[in-house]
Amino acid sequence: MNRWQQIFRDGLWTNNVVFAQLLALCPLLAVTGTATNGLGMGLATTVVVVLSNLAVSLARRLIPGEVRIPVFVLLIATIVTLVDMTMNAFLHDLHRVLGLFIPLIVTNCAILGRAEAFASRQAPLPALLDGLATGLGFTWALVLLGALREILGAGTLFAHASLLLGDAFGFLELVVIPDYDGFLLLVLPPGGFLVLGFMLAGKRVLEARMGRAPTPDGAGCGGCAMAPATT
Amino acid sequence: MNLETLRQRMLYQTLLLGGAALLVSALLGLGNHGTAGLIAERNAGDLRDSLSEVLPARHHDNDLLADTVTVPRDDEPVLAYRGRLEGRVNAVAFAMDGVGYGGPIRVLLGVDRTGRVLGVRVLSHSETPGLGDGIERAKSDWVLDFDDKRLGNPPPGDWTVQKDGGVFDQFTGATITPRATVAIVRDGLEFFAAHRARLLHEFPPETPIATLEHPHP
């Protein structure tokens, strides 16, 4: 497996922000009441983590270890604010839907985690790809968690997707269980913890079936040091 | 002296941290400078869209954003937009606040000069997605139930959700949000009734007229 495949394998599965590192739980649990909200949050986060990885990687030789954390925090907060303002001005309709989520991105410690563990030690191109892989890994985790909570909690899937993606994506909006009364607990925040717990258990079972659980490789090791023991 | 040794110096680290703060402040300032005008324009556009939904064009022939009046109320004055037909105030639109399940709810209300509801739209809220957000027009038809209602129709005791013996539907799994929204609309109509004269009062043309940018001329 070459280096690029390794980066994407780590971001999407082995070292997935949600399923392996258990980071970013604040935005995760806050927005995954529906699959559509999960997708919106995931895409906005992907943009920010790509930009922040790139910026940190470009500046990595200038930044001494002693003050790196405040500098990273400054960079990330600035990028989030700039993305927020730019979207509000130029992609106003999308901002009206995603606007709620963008300020929440600064609470996402996974972005700081990637800056610290990967981007501050790597050249710009791998750092950018790692940001993309991490963001996509976060996105699919959010969409899956949102989809499960939405189906079990409200009986629908991708409700209001056309508000986020445009009318062309109206076909995504499905009623999975017609005349469903809803299961309130799963839509409220505790449901996020419950469903996430079942998904983590499911991932363990899957990895056990596939043989030995793969361990995160050296490139991402700062990330695993920050995360709770997961393997 | 190379970068390696320079990075260990306290002075370098201090300057770098200060420099980084300065740099990002400059970036944010530039960003704000470049987008503030556009954002204000887009927000005015949004407001105009919401206004046109609660105060349809057939009820006025003037620019609503250019014809406003402020009426004092509790701690926060209410800014009302007046719709005129041939110079006469025919209807007004104003925002009312209340508290729902997840936080404040802000509702825009259009009322004609007789006190009849022309339209209701929720401007902002933080209700539970998938449950309480049915008060948004984009997500359900529920707010259309208010159209053509007035104080007295339904009678005062029925101005609440069905669960409390009223005429308005609640949502499955969410009663607090619609109950709060009904209360806000009722408050709005009571506010209109209490300040009707002032809201509909015609100022002579030379009186400075409040605008969006200068709500208090």
- For chain B, percent of residues with pLDDT exceeding 90: 41
Is residue B134 a part of any domain in this protein?
yes
Between A86 and A224, whose confidence is greater?
A: A86
**Taking 70 as the threshold, does the pLDDT of residue B132 lie above it?**
yes
Task: Tell me: do B41 and B120 sit in the same domain.
Answer: no
For A219-229, b where at least 16 C-beta lie within 10 A, e where not — what string? bbebbbeebee
> For position B206, what pLDDT does the model report?
44
Asked, for residue B205, whether it belongs to a domain, the answer is no
Of A33, A67, A90, the CB nearest to B17: A67
Report the C-alpha gap between B151 and B115 in whole angstroms: 8
| In a shared domain, residues B27 and B89 | no
Q: Quickly list DSSP for B58-117.
A: GG--S-GGGSEEEE--TTSPEEEEEEEETTEEEEEEEEEEEE-SSSEEEEEEEEETTS-E
The reply to whether B131 and B113 lie within a common domain is: yes
Token pair for A183: 């299961």
pLDDT band at A34 (very low <50, low <70, confident <90, very high): confident
Per-residue pLDDT averaged across A97-115, rounded?
84
pLDDT at A220 over 80: no
Based on the fold, state whether residues B24 and B99 are members of the same structural domain.
no
B13 with B90, same domain: the answer is no
**Angle at the Cα of B98 (from B92 to B103), degrees rounded to 5?**
135
Residue B125 buriedness (CB in 10 A; 0-12 / 13-18 / 19+): buried
- Which range of A181-195, B24-38, B120-134 scores highest in mean pLDDT? It is B24-38
pLDDT above 70: percentage of residues in chain B: 91
Chain A residues whose C-beta is within 8 A of a chain B C-beta are 31, 33-34, 37, 61-64, 66-67, 70-71, 74-75, 77-78, 81-82, 85-86, 88-90, 92, 96, 150, 153-154, 159-160, 163, 181-182, 184, 187-188
Q: Report whether pLDDT(A1) > 80.
A: no
Residue-level length of chain A: 231
Please indicate, yes or no, if residue A227 is contained in any of the structural domains: no
How many domains, chain B? 2
Mark whether B85 and B140 lie in a shared domain.
yes
At residue B116 the predicted structure's pLDDT band, cuts being 50, 70 and 90, is very high
Amino acid at site B184:
I
Residue of A179, A189, A184 lying closest to A152 (CA atoms): A184
User: Chain B residue closest to A181 (CA)?
Assistant: B172
By residue range, what is the domain housing residue A185? 3-212
Cα nearest neighbour of A81 on chain B: B28
What is this model's ipTM?
Answer: 0.74
Is residue A120 in a domain?
A: yes
- Report if residue A103 sits inside a domain: yes
Residue B214 resides in a domain: no
A218, pLDDT greater than 60: no
Nearest residue on chain A to B136, judged by CA atoms? A160
pTM of the model: 0.75
Closest CA to B138 of A223, A190, A152, A162: A162
Same-domain check for residues B35 and B60: no
pLDDT attached to residue A199: 92
Q: What average pLDDT does the structure give for chain B?
A: 86
Give yes or no for a contact between B84 and B67, defined as CB atoms under 8 angstroms apart: yes
Nearest Cβ partner of B24 from A74, A86, A96? A74
pLDDT of res. A127: 95
- Give the mutation candidate from A73, A76, A92 for the B interface (greatest B CB count, under 10 A): A92
Residues 6+ apart with CB under 8 A from A3: A126
Q: Residue B22: which domain range? A: 3-51
Q: Which of B7, B31, B130 sits opposite A33 (nearest CB)?
A: B130
- The residue type of A207 is E
* Same-domain status, B30 and B101: no
Task: Judge: B8–A150 Cβ closer than 8 Å, yes or no.
Answer: no
